[in-house]
Amino acid sequence: MRRIALIVTVPLLLGAGPCSDISPTSGSIAGEGVVHRGVGPECPQTWHIATANGEIYWPLENPAFQQEGLRVRFSIRPRTEMASICMAGTMVEVISVEKL
């Protein structure tokens, strides 16, 4: 019984925090992060959002937000139906993004 409680509790603790919030109804993730250029050595020109808890979400295609070190608030949806050669982070659809 103790092992089951640990298996259930650990994922909940790892996903919690001020940097991201997963909406159970839409599968979207909302949070704050910093914009950077480059997703691993395979994709040096791809812009992404990095969160304080180490998550990397990409691509950030809107040129208005492609500024190194820009702090943003975002809402995204993971894209699980696609594959990429970029070997870091999570490929997402950006729902909304705003400068902080």
Name the residue type at position 74. F
What is the CATH code of the structural domain delimited by 18-99?
2.40.50.500
CA distance linking residue 11 with residue 26, whole number of Å: 19
Task: Give mean pLDDT in consecutive 10-residue pieces for the chain, a chain of 100 residues.
Answer: 44 44 72 95 95 96 97 96 88 97
Give every CB contact of residue 1 below 8 A, 6+ residues apart in sequence.
Answer: none
- pLDDT on residue 21: 58
Question: What pTM did the predictor assign?
Answer: 0.74
Q: How far is CA 30 from CA 20, 84, 94, in A?
A: 5, 23, 10
Domain residue extents for the chain: 18-99
CA distance linking residue 26 with residue 22, whole number of Å: 9
- pLDDT on residue 65: 97
- pLDDT on residue 20: 53
- pLDDT on residue 64: 97
